[in-house]
A and B are shown apart, each in its own frame.
Chain A
Amino acid sequence: MDETVAKDVSALVAEHYAAVYRYAYRLSGTAADAEDLTQQAFLAAQRKLDQLRGMDAARGWLFTIVRNCFLAARRQNQPSVANGELRWDELPEEATAPTAIDGELLQRALDALPEDYRLVVLMYYFEDNSYREIAETLEIPVGTVMSRLSRAKACLRAGLWGPRLKELLVTKH
């Protein structure tokens, strides 16, 4: 893609709007908020286009703007993390992980996470960032990232894998 054209915000929208919307949806949890976040992000990107150094960085840059927009309007009521955890060393030996997860069920599990945990989880699963990259971006210690990631994953397993395990137990008895 020609770089002059690529700098144009229209090209950014065309190439990244779907990914930005999906990210915003996973972060905010509703279609209306996701669309609002997406619009805010591209308006901010339009104003700060000179800060983008290279199209290779565009996707991550836009995701960062979405995160900033989301955090700027963050909700007052934070869910607590005490809604069940399932550590992988607690899984029964014969249990296999689900091979497909319903998108809505996943969203409910994400919504139940505190925002700090949800951010880390999205950066890990959605952006495929390493724990080092997450720590650098969020400016938090690596140990904190590992701890949040591990607890967040345990919560997701409890929400997404837990019901299946219960079914298995019921079937067995």
Chain B
Amino acid sequence: MDRERLREMIDACRPESADLALPELAEARAELERDAVLRRQARRAEQFDRTVAAAMQDVAVPAGLQDRLMAALAAGAPRDVATPVVTVADNGRKSRWRIPAYTGIVLLGTAAVLLLSLTMRWFDTGDDWQPRAIADAAVLHFPNEFDPREQRLWTNAKAPSASHPLSRHLSQGSNPPQCVVRNVAGCSGVAYLLQGRTGALGTLLVLTPRATLSSFPSSPPKSPQVDTAGCAAASWRENNRLYVLVVAGNAADYKSFLRQPGRVAQVESPSAFRLATAY
């Protein structure tokens, strides 16, 4: 039998399972019984598989995730994602009243979700969902990014978030420090720590919007929407996300973050992270 095919067959079997007993693997089984070297190799590979399977579960779950999920479910943020239909044999006999009762529960639940959605929409389209209001809210949130207690949240991930990517309109490094942010103007997402050409520090918030973004500009405005209390900020829409740039400084500092035609994007300085502590 072809060794490559044989290896694939044995590799496909789960450790301590009956997979190898399947009729289509009879040849592989016979080869294993015949060849002692092959058996030893397969045993080592199996030991490795067990170690990998155990390491797969070695992932720390963020604190408060369950609460955040429940809050998101209560808000019922809409997303259209394909879901599978699971068909599991049902051996139990069900009462004929079961379907009407279940339908009633679903209808009641749907009505409650609809009412909640309408209420949320009413709030969402209010004055707090305007570019300037969002920039204001981000300025208020801004000091939190540099709270010493929050410092540990900044991480040097291997890449920017795929779901909350960096802006193509800003001069920025390819992979600046990032952290997860929650409840900035009712939205959550990812924050990136950036440094402008003037040396000013800024935070780019990339947020999952809680309502339509039609009132937001499609790129960062040339001047900040908010310029107060030592901070300049603006918000815009991009990649179906809400982007907010908050800069420590004035309008000139804000402008130093915007990409200029013909200029090479500034590479994130490693000192940016250290500077943040003294910020």
Contact = CB atoms under 8 A, between A and B. Distances in A.
A43 B52 contact: no
Interface string B178-199: 1010000000011000000000
A146 B45 CA distance: 15
A106 B55 contact: yes
B61 A22 contact: yes
Given A9-B73, A51-B86, A126 B56 contact: yes
Interface size class of B (residues with CB under 8 A): 35 or more
A21 B19 CA distance: 29
B48 A161 contact: yes
A23 to B, nearest CB: 9
B169 interface: no
Contacts of B62: 21, 31, 35
A88 B42 contact: yes
Interface size class of A (residues with CB under 8 A): 35 or more
A30 B157 contact: yes
Interface string A36-50: 111111111111101
Interface string A106-150: 101001000000000010111010111000000000100111011
A146 B178 contact: no
A41 B81 CA distance: 8
A40 B18 CA distance: 35
B121 interface: no
A104 to B, nearest CB: 9
Interface stretch (B159-167, B213-221, B222-230, B263-271): B159-167
Given A26-B56, A31-B62, A130-B19, A75 B162 contact: yes
Contact of B88 (A31, A57, A102, A128): A57
Nearest to A51: B85
B261 interface: no
A68 B40 contact: no
Contact of A128 (B14, B77, B159): B14
A96 interface: yes
Interface string A10-41: 10011001100110011011111101111111
Contact of A99 (B24, B42, B51): B51
Given A32-B190, A35-B62, A126-B56, A53 B87 contact: yes
Contacts of A18: 61, 65
Interface string B84-107: 111110100000000000000110
A36 B65 contact: no
Contacts of A40: 79, 81
Interface SS of chain A: helix
A50 B106 contact: yes
A38 B79 CA distance: 13
B38 interface: yes
A131 B54 CA distance: 19
B84 A65 contact: yes
Interface string B53-93: 11111110110011011101100111101111111101000
Contacts of A160: 48, 52
Given A26-B59, A103-B55, A160-B52, A150 B11 contact: yes
A67 to B, nearest CB: 9
Interface of B: 3, 7-9, 11-14, 17, 19, 22, 24, 38, 40-42, 44-45, 47-49, 51-59, 61-62, 65-66, 68-70, 72-73, 76-79, 81-88, 90, 105-106, 155, 157-159, 161-164, 178, 180, 189-190, 208
Given A18-B61, A32-B161, 18 more contacts: A10-B70, A26-B56, A30-B161, A31-B62, A31-B180, A33-B163, A39-B72, A40-B81, A42-B73, A53-B88, A57-B86, A88-B48, A89-B38, A93-B40, A97-B45, A130-B19, A142-B24, A157-B48
23 contacts: A9-B73, A10-B73, A14-B66, A29-B159, A30-B159, A30-B161, A32-B157, A32-B180, A35-B68, A38-B65, A39-B69, A39-B77, A51-B86, A53-B87, A64-B84, A73-B163, A96-B44, A101-B52, A106-B58, A130-B19, A131-B12, A131-B19, A146-B11
Q: Which 8 A-B pairs have the closest CB atoms?
A: A88-B45, A97-B48, A103-B58, A101-B55, A150-B11, A131-B12, A150-B8, A22-B59
